[in-house]
A and B are shown apart, each in its own frame.
Chain A
Amino acid sequence: MKAAIIVFPGTNRERDMRIALKRATGREPLMLFHREPLPAGLDLVVLAGGFSYGDYLRCGAMAAQSPIMREVKEFAARGGHILGVCNGFQILIEAGLLPGGLLRNASLRFLSMDCILRVERAGTAFTSRWQKGATFRAPMAHGDGNYFADEATLDRLEGEGLVAFRYVNEAGEATEAANRNGSARNIAGIFSPNLRICGLMPHPEDLVDELMGGTDGLPMFESLAESLVSA
């Protein structure tokens, strides 16, 4: 799998993502500064977490307008796989590659803690190593992760099986208490209709080694490595 991580000014989780991708694929991903062109032959583009452009205007709004995102949109139109985590999810939404919006956390607090995610759809390039309904721990660190979309969009996401992950409690139930940022219907992550773009707020890349405290997030990267085998 040939993967590239895009680095904007203010991106700060790119090295964690690199560790996760390297661990799952055995290959170093490309680290692409936002002024560089997107090379041909990529299997996966990753937008990592952080505070691109200082979160000016709205989280992800500035990065979404940067020239490299035009190339990322073309990559998406060609059926390319894209993963966006945290600020990367915000950028995908601001770029119009995923629907909805991410509001300030309902508590107004920056949340830096672990959450538990439930896999709502298995069998995708991002989730093939999990069973549907499996739960796993993931660290989160965000101030604006409160997923919002109008009822029609939420119904469409659910109806078409495009909800990727939900915030749940220890028992795997999508309760209000487990939904720390106040997201609509406990949604933590979603897919594009072709299932090739996935955005989520929590950080699976931060739990891929026992030295990090666990390997709960590793299946996502193993899924990608297995699904996106390049020639």
Chain B
Amino acid sequence: MKARVYVMPKAGVLDPQGKAIGHALEGLGFTGVKEVRAGKVIELDLAETDPAKAKAAAEDMARRLLANTVIESFRVEIA
């Protein structure tokens, strides 16, 4: 079973990377991009077959390692 962990900088936490990407898009002529936030996606291939258990396990992994919850938020999707 596949789990996808989306890790994003928390709302209110400065995201200089997102800001730089926004400036670059502006430079390319893309107008109207109000804000860019850059995060990461981590894909896990899990042996677990129960979706609820797989999600709970991935969330535990996110809390303990994949995200730093002081500065990042996360969301888990089971595919």
Contacts and interface: CB of A to CB of B under 8 A. Distances in A.
Given A57-B65, A61-B65, A65-B65, A106 B70 contact: no
Contacts, number: 36
A146 B14 contact: yes
Contacts of A65: 65
B65 A148 contact: no
Interface residues of A, number: 19
B33 interface: no
Contact of A103 (B20, B65, B66, B71): B71
Contacts of B73: none
Interface residues of B, number: 11
A99 B71 CA distance: 11
A15 interface: no
Interface in A100-134: 100-101, 103-108
Main secondary structure of the interface of A (DSSP, over half): loop
A103 B70 contact: no
Nearest to A150: B70
Given A57-B65, A65-B65, A104 B16 contact: yes
Contacts of B70: 99-101, 148-150
B68 A182 contact: no
A94 interface: yes
A99 B68 CA distance: 11
Interface centre among A57, A61, A108, A149 (most CB of B within 10 A): A57
A148 B13 contact: yes
Interface of A: 57-58, 61, 65, 94, 99-101, 103-108, 146, 148-150, 182
Interface of B: 9, 13-14, 16-17, 20, 65-66, 68, 70-71
